[in-house]
Amino acid sequence: MFEGIAASKGIGIGKIKLIEECELKFVPKHIDDVEKEKLRFENALNKFKKDTAESAESIRKNIGEKEANILEGHIAMISDPAMNSKMMEIIEGGQCAETAVDTVCDMFINIFSQMEDELMRQRSLDISDIKTSLIKILLGVENVNLSQLESGTILITKDITPSMISQIVKDNVAGVITEIGGTTSHAAILLRTIEIPTVLSVAGITKQVKDGDVAIVDGNDGVVYIRPEEELLSKYKLKREEYIKKKIELKELVGVETHTKDNIKLKLYCNIGTPKEAKTVIESGGEGIGLFRTEFLFMDSNHLPSETEQYNSYKEAVDLLSDKTIIIRTLDIGGDKDIPYLGLKKECNPFLGYRGIRYCLGNIDIFKIQIRSILRASAFGKVKIMIPLVTCVDEIRAVRKIVEDCKQQLKAEGIEFDKKIEVGCMIETASASLIADILAKEANFFSIGTNDLTQYTMSVDRGNQNVTYLYSAFEPSVIRSIKNIIDCAKKQGIEVGMCGEAAADELMIPLLISFGLEEYSVSPSLALETKSVISKWTKKEADELADKVLKLSTKAEIIKLLQEYKK
Amino acid sequence: MVSKVIKITDEQGLHMRPATLFSQAMAGFKSNVQVKHNGKSYDAKSVMMLMTACIKCGDEIEIVAEGSDEQDVLNKAIELFENGLEG
């Protein structure tokens, strides 16, 4: 078994085709005929632009517009006056074109790879691709033709470039293995888009294999088997079938309403941390946003984000969601989340300290900016305000007063907002759960945050290795707490959702269906699976199982029973 | 020589795509155009140099143009930043 980086999901089984590329080494030469060398460089440049445009066109046809644009960006980069003139200068100084390309590309790779911004750092990968292609052309190394591979090929190569992938006929390639590369490279993105199982960065793999060897590529776990035993091979063939079956099942669920087996309609929402993710929510079958964390706005900035900055972010998400619900959680800092410029003091007991709504009510000026921004964005869609870490009724009353003040201000300024905007609570503390009946009279909705609810109910710091064994949402106390919260919400007739990890847990879902949870908010990558689990249960089956679970005394018994009944 | 200070409002800052659009527009003019940011000067016609400047949302940049069509190129630059460079 060889380990690498899982870069594209799925399981591939097939025969190896090893692509051995010549080393792109060159000996730097001194050039006497500068004009001739310049011409050689320009010819290489033109060939690069022509090849790249062709690859981009092929990618546009077979993979997608966005992926093609990335490759076309390479043409813009190499045509850049700064890059071009620096290369020319080096050639004019009497050095060969290879040295010019190598030096200038390395200079930019160096600059970009040190940038703080992740998107900018990725530009160094573009330049690295450009450099490889250009030097290949200069050295006269022909690209291997990958368009004629036999069906069921496992492609093994030292490194794979976007232009190589543009030649691949998807149905013929069962998997890809390389010696170098990471998950954020363009090649990895392309392989994920065309869904070819891929494991990258498998050290020394090209030296371990020969053409025709059978190989297994496990893109889920990032492992590779060469010449596997018959037993392992059958095991993986089964795994592959299951994976494909599940993938097809899940794809059929995009755009389908979320409902139980006996057709009780439920809501499947997603949790997001940046406005851009709102797009992935729609793509992955989410019907709204149950938790929009706003901390990113404050954490990614070196100053307090202004009303305009916040408004722009919230509105971007609202626009992407069009008429779907979006629940915006107000700033939830403190605890383990620090923001340097706010000057929070270090606390001995941060999880029991100045965090969540406590901080906001102590810094009303900061809080009002956020409330005004959310209100302004609410004019364009279905926005709700959610308060984190509520422990008593006074907190929700105080927030309501601030929201009213902000509404009055906006009205006076002639700015639009949703006059009926709902204000709800996260229920994630033991106290909030115990007074859920009281809170339900004053909040428009509840959302259960199971991560903190478990932590506070079990009195366990989930970061502390010595006590994490106690941290489980399947503890009888946590399950009772969840049931109580849902009961209280239903009695008062307000909507109740869950935005913690438990909402996507296949063992927890039947209990939630039985208790009557209406809205499940999960990470976009788990949306379809959650939808699929929900669709397998009827209310009656869930009720029978829940009755049994509520009679059990320990977490271990509960999990064992839920495992047995798992669908 | 003409110049103007502009505040970047695009949430992404001056990334690949906006920087490409901006530098391509600038390349159509004869004047020398520089973007000043944090005390350094960058060639506005070079997308690579603009990206190395790492210009973020909220940053202020100064656009300095010098040449026969300096006022035209400055007006174009202002127009581009005001209308947003994403489109």
> What CATH number should be reported for the domain holding residue B76?
3.30.1340.10
Q: Which of A83, A115, A117 sits opposite B48 (nearest CB)?
A: A83
Catalytic residue among A96, A406, A425, A499: A499
Short-list A282, A321, A324, A254, CA closest to A529: A254
Pairs from A168-175 (Cβ < 8 Å, separation ≥ 24): A168/A194, A168/A196, A170/A62, A170/A194, A170/A195, A170/A196, A173/A12, A173/A149, A174/A12, A174/A13, A174/A14, A174/A217, A175/A10, A175/A11, A175/A12, A175/A13, A175/A14, A175/A199, A175/A215, A175/A217, A175/A219
Mean pLDDT score, B51-68:
89
Residues of B within 8 A of A65 (CB-CB) are none
Measured at the alpha carbon of residue A74, what is the angle toward residues A68 and A80, in degrees to the nearest 5?
140
Given an 8 Å threshold on Cβ–Cβ distance, is A116 in contact with B54? yes
Given an 8 Å threshold on Cβ–Cβ distance, is A112 in contact with B12? no
* A111 CB within 8 Å of a chain B CB: yes
Domain ranges of chain A: 1-21+150-236, 25-139, 267-565
pLDDT at A23: 67
Bridge partners of A292, per DSSP, are A272, A328
Mutate to test the interface with B, among A70, A71, A80 (most CBs of B within 10 A): A80
Residues of B within 8 A of A316 (CB-CB) are 11
Mutate to test the interface with A, among B14, B48, B86 (most CBs of A within 10 A): B48
Provide residues of B within 8 Å CB-CB of chain A: 11-13, 15-16, 20, 23-24, 27, 43, 45-49, 51-52, 54, 56-58
* Alpha carbon distance A470, A459 (integer Å): 9
Bridge partners of A284, per DSSP, are none
Per-residue pLDDT of chain A (567 residues; tens, 9 = 90+): 999 999 999 999 999 999 876 667 888 889 899 999 999 999 999 999 999 998 888 888 877 787 788 888 888 888 888 888 899 999 999 999 999 999 999 999 998 888 877 777 778 888 888 998 899 899 888 777 788 889 999 999 988 887 788 888 888 999 999 998 777 777 887 888 888 999 999 999 999 999 999 999 999 999 999 999 999 999 999 999 999 988 888 888 888 899 999 999 999 999 998 888 888 888 888 999 999 999 878 887 788 999 999 999 999 999 998 889 999 999 998 766 677 788 888 888 888 999 999 999 999 999 999 999 999 999 999 999 999 999 999 999 999 999 999 999 999 999 999 999 999 999 999 999 999 999 999 999 999 999 999 999 999 987 777 888 999 999 999 999 999 999 999 999 999 999 988 999 999 999 999 999 999 999 888 899 899 999 999 999 999 999 999 999 999 999 999 999 998
Closest chain B CA to residue A306: B58
A186: distance to nearest CA of chain B, Å?
A: 15
* Alpha carbon distance B16, A560 (integer Å): 52
Contact A275, A320 (CB under 8 A): yes
Q: How confident is the model at residue B87 (pLDDT cuts 50, 70, 90)?
A: very low
Contact B11, B57 (CB under 8 A): yes
* Helix, strand, or coil (residue A234): helix
Q: Output the six-digit token pair for A86.
A: 């620096």
Residues of B within 8 A of A77 (CB-CB) are 47-48
Exposure letters A271-306 (e unless 16+ CB within 10 A, then b): bbebbebbebbbebbbbbbbbbbbeebbeebeebbe
pLDDT at A333: 86
**Taking phi first (over 0 means left), then psi (-120 to 50 degrees means alpha), and beta for anything else, what does residue A256 get?**
beta
Q: Output the six-digit token pair for B84.
A: 């947003």
Residues of B within 8 A of A313 (CB-CB) are 11
Residues of A within 8 A of B49 (CB-CB) are 80, 82
* Alpha carbon distance A395, A425 (integer Å): 10
Given an 8 Å threshold on Cβ–Cβ distance, is A120 in contact with B15? yes
Given an 8 Å threshold on Cβ–Cβ distance, is B15 in contact with A119? yes
* Alpha carbon distance A513, A530 (integer Å): 12
* Alpha carbon distance B25, B65 (integer Å): 14
Tokens 């009888």, residue located? A476
**Domain A1-21+150-236, architecture per CATH:** 3-Layer(bba) Sandwich (3.50)
Given an 8 Å threshold on Cβ–Cβ distance, is B16 in contact with A83? no
pLDDT at A472: 93
Closest chain A CA to residue B20: A76
* Alpha carbon distance A97, A243 (integer Å): 49
A23 backbone dihedrals φ, ψ, rounded to 5°: -65, 135
A137: exposed, middle or buried (C-beta count within 10 Å: 0-12, 13-18, 19+)? buried
| Superfamily (CATH H level) for A25-139 | PtsI, HPr-binding domain (1.10.274.10)
Residues of A within 8 A of B12 (CB-CB) are 119
Domain total in chain B: 1
Contact A311, A366 (CB under 8 A): no
Q: How confident is the model at residue B86 (pLDDT cuts 50, 70, 90)?
A: low
Structural domain range at position B64: 2-83
Short-list A186, A211, A216, CA closest to A199: A216
Contact A521, A284 (CB under 8 A): no
Bridge partners of B40, per DSSP, are B37
Given an 8 Å threshold on Cβ–Cβ distance, is A80 in contact with B52? no
Q: Output the six-digit token pair for B85.
A: 């460079």
Catalytic residue among A186, A360, A406, A425: A186
The model's pTM is 0.64
| Amino acid identity at A547 | D
- Percent share of chain B, pLDDT over 70: 97
DSSP of A45-109, one letter per residue? HHHHHHHHHHHHHHHHHHT-HHHHHHHHHHHHHHT-HHHHHHHHHHHHTTB-HHHHHHHHHHHHH
H/E segment holding residue A138: helix A123-139
A74 is catalytic: no
* Alpha carbon distance B1, A493 (integer Å): 68
A406: distance to nearest CA of chain B, Å?
A: 25
B46: distance to nearest CA of chain A, Å?
A: 6
- The catalytic residues of B are 15
* Alpha carbon distance B41, B14 (integer Å): 15
**Domain A267-565, architecture per CATH:** Alpha-Beta Barrel (3.20)
A65: distance to nearest CA of chain B, Å?
A: 14
Closest chain B CA to residue A312: B11
Given an 8 Å threshold on Cβ–Cβ distance, is A76 in contact with B52? no
Q: Which of B11, B23, B24 sits opposite A312 (nearest CB)?
A: B11
* A81 CB within 8 Å of a chain B CB: yes
Measured at the alpha carbon of residue A180, what is the angle toward residues A176 and A185, in degrees to the nearest 5?
80
Mutual orientation of helices A230-251 and A527-534 as an angle, nearest 10°?
80
